[in-house]
Amino acid sequence: MSDHGGAGTPDAVDWLGRPVSCKDCPHDTMRAEGRCDLGRICVRDRRSMRIDRFFANNPALAARYLEHPYFELRVLAAKHASVFLLPRLLEDPEPDVRAMIAYRLPLNRIGVLKNDLDRKVRLAVAYRVEGKDLVEMLADPDYAVRTVAVRRVPPTLLSLAMYDPEVEVRKIVAERLPVQQLFPMVSDRDPLVRVEVARRLDPHQLAALVSDPDLRVRYLVAERAGEEVLQVLASDEDIEVRQLALARLVSGGQAAEEEDHGSRA
């Protein structure tokens, strides 16, 4: 181990940019036990990896730093401290600290954070809460939070987000919504959502999309629909849709002839 009694290694500086030394460190006695190592494992260093290593080696000391002025140190102290000490940080001024609290506290203690002013805190909450709290996050003002919520709520409740203003949210709804609730989304204003609807609807429902303005939607309809819809798409304005519809009509007719021939034989 290198000599840590001097001014410190060139890249070992604290959160105020001052060189770190072991001379005035309150944890200097730990060096002999390998629980700290200047430039690699150090609670006074501003680098988060070095702080995290320190608390990983010395979790009992995390409680001492929950109110330190350096926010990154508070975040990492909160990561390793006993959960019984964390409720006092629910109103910490730094959102990264509150987000860590949202990840660590029991579910029945983090509901208050679902209305936090910072999106990263609400994101952390959305990844964990269940039931009514999670459903309420479908109305979050930030689409990223709503995206997490629609991926986690029970599929039977996704109709609550069917008309979300963000297309990415509605796409997830279209992917997860039970098929029996999906039909109203045939009129979604975004073609990427309607593409997903066309992939999942029962074939007998695809007639509702036969005149869709987006050729990607009509192409999917041509891949899955029955003969009546294919007859319409055989005259589609797009050549690829027409060719697919005609090919399926021909192959369907051939299959019917072969089946009839086989029955008469």
**pLDDT, the chain, mean:** 89
Residues whose CB falls within 8 Å of the CB of residue 61, separated by 6 or more in sequence, listed in order:
27, 43, 54, 55
pLDDT tens for each residue of 5-23: 444 455 888 788 888 877 7
* 22 falls within a domain: no
Task: Please check whether residue 249 lies inside any domain of the structure.
Answer: yes
Three-state SS annotation for the chain = CCCCCCCCCCCCECCCCCECCCCCCCCHHHHHHCCCECCCECCCCCCHHHHHHHHHHCHHHHHHHCCCCCHHHHHHHHHHCCHHHCHHHCCCCCHHHHHHHHHHCCHHHHHHHHHCCCHHHHHHHHCCCCHHHHHHHHHCCCHHHHHHHHHHCCHHHHHHHCCCCCHHHHHHHHHHCCHHHCHHHHHCCCHHHHHHHHHHCCHHHHHHHCCCCCHHHHHHHHHHCCHHHHHHHCCCCCHHHHHHHHHHHHHHHHHHHHHHHHHHC
Res 14: pLDDT = 78
Q: What is the largest CA-CA distance in the chain?
A: 99
Query: Does the pLDDT of residue 253 top 70, yes or no?
Result: no
Q: Does position 261 have pLDDT exceeding 90, yes or no?
A: no
Residue 180 belongs to a domain: no
pLDDT value at position 40? 84
Integer angstrom CA distances of residue 147 from 142, 153, 189: 9, 10, 18
pLDDT at residue 160 above 50?
yes
Range in 7-16, 37-46, 176-185, 215-224 with the lowest mean pLDDT:
7-16
Q: How far is CA 173 from CA 9, 51, 232, in A?
A: 53, 41, 29
Q: Is residue 228 part of a domain?
A: yes
pLDDT, position 10: 52
| pLDDT reported for residue 5 | 40
The tens digit of pLDDT for each residue in 212-235 reads 999 999 999 999 999 999 999 999
Give residue 231's domain range. Answer: 209-259
Radius of gyration of the chain (CA): 30
Predicted confidence (pLDDT) at residue 2 exceeds the cutoff of 50? no
Q: What is the mean pLDDT of residues 234-263?
A: 76
Predicted pLDDT at 250: 93
Provide the pLDDT for residue 242. Answer: 97
Provide the number of structural domains found in the chain.
1
How large is the average pLDDT for residues 177-193? 97
Predicted confidence (pLDDT) at residue 64 exceeds the cutoff of 60: yes
- Residue 252 inside a domain? The answer is yes
- Encode pLDDT of 101-158 as tens digits: 999 999 999 999 999 999 999 999 999 999 999 999 999 999 999 999 999 999 999 9
pLDDT of 95 > 90? The answer is: yes
Residue 213 lies in a domain: yes
> Does residue 62 carry a pLDDT above 70?
yes
Cα distance between residue 143 and residue 31, in whole Å? 48
Domain annotation covers residue 12: no
pLDDT at 32: 65
The residue-averaged pLDDT of 179-208 equals 97
pLDDT band at 263 (very low <50, low <70, confident <90, very high): very low
Residue 147 domain-assigned (yes or no): no
